Amino acid sequence: MSIIDRVTAKQSGAPQTGRTRGAKRLAPTPAKSRKDRSILDDIDAWEDEGQGVDTPARNAPPVTDEDVSAFGDTFRSRGKTKPAKATASKASKPKPKSREFSFDHKRLEKFGFITPKVRRSRISEEFRLIKRRLMQRMSLSAKKKRQSRRGERNHVILVTSARPSEGKSFVAMNLALSIIFDEGLNVLLVDGDVARPSMSKILGLRNDLPGLTDLLLDDQAVLTDVLLREHEHPLTYLAAGAMVASATDLFGGDRMETLVADMAERYSDRIIIFDGPPLLASTEPVALAEHAGQVVMVVDAEKTSRSAVDSALDLLVTDQNVNLVLNKTTVGNRTEQFGSYYEAYNQA
């Protein structure tokens, strides 16, 4: 019995404790001081207050929780044995209404993410700098494609950190948003943090969608079966998938290599961003880094020690393109003027 079948059986028949079908997977966290709170804590608190209502994009078809639920159940029931004869009286079930979702720009803006509404702000400019450094190494233009070696994956980026709660998911999401809003390029965002997935939470989607691990565990799975597309912008999302005890062997296996090679070579003009686990928390990000052309390591300016950063870097291959991003820094006068200038510019 495959893990997909076990997930299906558990969802359809087994009793569930503490969570009903269709409910959110992440439980609210206890109240903390603002200094110790994370983006996910704020999202939990906001939704508990009843303010987390998704706002579909203009002219977007409404996608309900039942639609997304049907999408996940349809994929995970693929391994079930079909009846020998279908009754002619019963019409065949239609396919899930949509594998699309829509950005809730109000939600993104509330929690500090980049939106197309505010084109000039301190955070937008900071991520433009980060983005440009990464894109300079990519072979996206026709001229660079001719000059690049076959198999180069500089457009495949792994975002990680030394320890948990340093802001890697925040950086990965803003990096993707900066690319699609500013450059108009296609981005495939992959939640590779199987133990603590957070991308679906940030996007306002269910956190138990089929995704990466389902593809790696099911030989019959197809990539297009689990991708979700943003309705208005060129962003495609691949969720983490079914939870497993350890994904290191999956990430280091031949099927993962085939999957990443297919994504990277078939869509050479698409930037692929993996939100991976922290380097010092498991061996999974080391396996993921083998498939990426560039690594972005997020460092908490106030909490992460130099020894932790050195230990995390030692786990990566020495010839990899590793970029350090200092997060949660104390704003100085020079940076404050930089931000204030753009705030005034935007208002004008």
CATH 3.40.50.300 fits 97-347, yes or no: yes
Q: Report angle CA 111, 323, 213 to the nearest 5 degrees.
A: 65
Give the range with max mean pLDDT: 121-125, 169-173, 241-245.
Answer: 169-173
Q: What is the CA radius of gyration of the chain?
A: 21
Q: Which pLDDT value is given to residue 23?
A: 36
In this model, does residue 234 exceed pLDDT 80? yes
In this model, does residue 340 exceed pLDDT 50? no
State the burial class of residue 334 (Cβ atoms within 10 Å of its Cβ: 0-12, 13-18, 19+): exposed
Q: Which pLDDT value is given to residue 69?
A: 57
Q: Which pLDDT value is given to residue 191?
A: 97
For the chain, domain boundaries? 97-347
Condensed to tens digits (0 to 9), the pLDDT of residues 281-301 reads 999 999 999 999 999 999 998
pLDDT band at residue 75 under the 50/70/90 scheme? low
Angstrom CA distances, 259 to 61, 157, 222, 252, stand at: 31, 15, 10, 11
For 156-192, give one letter per residue: b (16+ CB within 10 A) or e.
bbbbbbbbebbbbbbbbbbbbbbbbbbbebbbbbbbb
* DSSP for 277-336, written as a single string: PPTTT-SHHHHHHTT-SEEEEEEETTT--HHHHHHHHHTS-TTSEEEEEEESPPP-HHHH
Q: Which pLDDT value is given to residue 40?
A: 75
Q: Which pLDDT value is given to residue 267?
A: 73
HSE-up (13 A, CA, CB side) for residue 106: 8
Sign of the dihedral through C-alpha 316, 295, 111, 194: negative
Are the CB atoms for 229 and 236 separated by under 8 Å? yes
In this model, does residue 6 exceed pLDDT 70? no
Across the chain, what does the average pLDDT equal? 76
Condensed to tens digits (0 to 9), the pLDDT of residues 119-164 reads 778 889 999 999 999 999 887 654 455 444 445 789 999 999 999 9
Choice among 69-73, 121-125, 329-333 with the minimum mean pLDDT: 69-73
Bridge partners of residue 236, in order along the sequence: 188, 229
Are the CB atoms for 282 and 246 separated by under 8 Å? yes
pLDDT band at residue 65 under the 50/70/90 scheme? low
Choice among 94-98, 176-180, 181-185 with the minimum mean pLDDT: 94-98
The pTM is what?
0.73
State the burial class of residue 2 (Cβ atoms within 10 Å of its Cβ: 0-12, 13-18, 19+): middle
Number of helices and strands in the chain (H, E): 14, 8
Could you tell me which residue, 223 or 71, shows the higher pLDDT?
Answer: 223
Q: If we measure between CA atoms, which residue out of 205, 167, 144, 164 comes closest to residue 298?
A: 167
Q: Which pLDDT value is given to residue 42?
A: 72
For 4-21, give one letter per residue: b (16+ CB within 10 A) or e.
bbebbeebeeeeeeeeee
